[in-house]
Amino acid sequence: MDKLTKHNVIHLIFLELVSLTPILIILGNIVPPFPLKIHHIGFGLIFLISLYALLSNPFKKWILYIALIFTLIQFTHSQWHVKGLIDYFFGPFALILMFDILVNKKLPKDTLLKYERRFYKLLWIPIIISTLQFFGILPITFWNATYINYAFFGDIMIPRPNGFLYHGSELSILICFLALFQFFKKEQKAFWMLLLVILFGVMTYFKAVTGCLILIFLYYISFVNRGTLSKFRILSKKQIIAYMSLGLVFTSIIAFRYFSLIYQHTGDIFYSEMLTGRGAIWNIFLEKVSDFTWWNYLFGNGMGSSFDIFKDYATPITWPRLALKPNDTDYDTHNVLLSVFINSGIIGIAFFIFLFKMIFNQCKTWLISSKWNKIVFIGVIFIPLFTIGITIPIFENAIFWICLGFLLYRWKFYTEYETA
């Protein structure tokens, strides 16, 4: 469309809010609640607007029917929470509405560009704050932002820069998407910007996001770039894929042998101290999974029930911290796929596969080439999923979906610009 009308004002309000989310999550942590935190108010409005807009669109009601079915299923579970249900569908609702506005041109392109550029600029703010915290220029805690995460180097505990966010997972997601945005810049600039973003990752002390950024950089110079850098590849794309496949097979064999030995000696699949205690967390959730009925395998244990599961199944033996802190049970799955499975089972995993397949069917038709778009899609979706997603339930983070939505905007505009 070429101009605004009264029929798409709701879309304009929606984009105003989602483009401000990097600031909302900072203020929500810094400013004391009155009575709710600022980002809870902002995300609540985004959810309600998404719900209203999808209800008003006869071609998008299908996801509301899916949400209704999942809601009804919750009444068959003994453990579920309304907040968990809203958190589960917040992302898909917001992403589908953002994608609908883009693909079906519900707002002028200049308007969409304005919001996408605003979001990208604001994306830098918590990352710049974390950098200043690393150098000691800004404190790690300020006003109501009292959350501190630590990096462990032997017996030494070092506070992690957090960008004044509630949890390091949010900062990891923002840094990851800052790197992915570089896919859609001029090649030389993208190369150096990715190296800079890797440096930001190192300064946060989060190993998962640093590994993710390095993988994004290698993936970019091996598959995504199409200009000068591609001429200096030592290996062809086919050779890279072949060696990566061999490496994956070899790694899988070693991993299978390693986890088999752990199981033989301990009865658990994961070593308890693996990835700073995540092994113990996963073992506790897998113990619950072993008690699942066929209904649970299909539809999960209930939305938002992960904290209940940990509280019920953690013991001082499986979670030694309980011996010192009996109430230390406030833990989620710390894994994106395990999170989806616990919440909604195999059917829930199938839902997200369908959602990403729907997005891919649109993206692959964008300009430049279907092959290039497929390569980019793999990088955008699967690298975060199998890096930071291994240790963080990223689908439960609202900011993940908003970052993904605006990244799709940048992708669309880039393909149009490159072929203009």
**In one letter, which amino acid is 401?**
W
Give yes or no: residues 17 and 102 share one domain: yes
pLDDT at 375 over 60: yes
Q: Does one domain contain both 321 and 250? A: no
Q: Is residue 403 part of a domain?
A: yes
Given a cut of 70, whether residue 420 has pLDDT beyond it is: no
Query: Taking CA 382 as the corner, what is the angle to CA 381 and CA 388, rounded to the nearest 5 degrees?
Result: 100
- CB-count burial class (<10 Å; 0-12, 13-18, 19+) for 64: middle
274-316 pLDDT, tens per residue? Answer: 888 899 999 999 999 999 999 999 999 999 999 999 999 999 9
Q: Which helix (H) or strand (E) holds 247?
A: helix 237-266
Q: Cα–Cα distance between 60 and 206 in angstroms, integer? A: 38
pLDDT of residue 43: 96
Confidence of residue 6 (pLDDT cuts 50, 70, 90): low
Higher-confidence residue of 197 and 368: namely 197
Residue 273: HSE in the Cβ half-sphere, 13 Å Cα cutoff: 1
| pTM for this entry | 0.94
Same domain, 251 and 220: no
pLDDT digits (tens, 9 = 90+) for 404-416: 999 999 999 999 8
**Residue carrying structure tokens 């070693």:** 254
Q: 246: domain range?
A: 234-267
Helices and strands, counts by H and E, the chain: 17, 2
Same domain, 28 and 44: yes
Q: What size, in residues, is the chain?
A: 420
* CA distance linking residue 169 with residue 395, whole number of Å: 11
Burial 264-274, CB ≥16 within 10 A → b, else e:
eeeebebbbeb
What pLDDT shows up at residue 323? 83
On whether residue 325 sits in a domain, the answer given is yes
Same-domain status, 241 and 312: no
For residue range 109-155, list pLDDT tens digits in order: 999 999 999 999 999 999 999 999 999 999 999 999 999 988 877 77
Q: Is residue 192 part of a domain?
A: yes
Q: pLDDT tens for residues 29-69?
A: 999 998 889 999 999 999 999 999 999 999 999 999 999 99
Q: Partners of 343 in the beta sheet?
A: none
Tokens of 108: 């002028």
Based on its alpha-carbon atoms, the radius of gyration of the chain, rounded to whole angstroms, reads: 22
Domains contained in the chain, number: 2
* Residue 1 placed within a domain: no
Alpha-carbon gap, residue 134 to 110, rounded angstroms: 37
Residue 247 and residue 375 in one domain: no
pLDDT digits (tens, 9 = 90+) for 330-359: 899 999 999 999 999 999 999 999 999 999
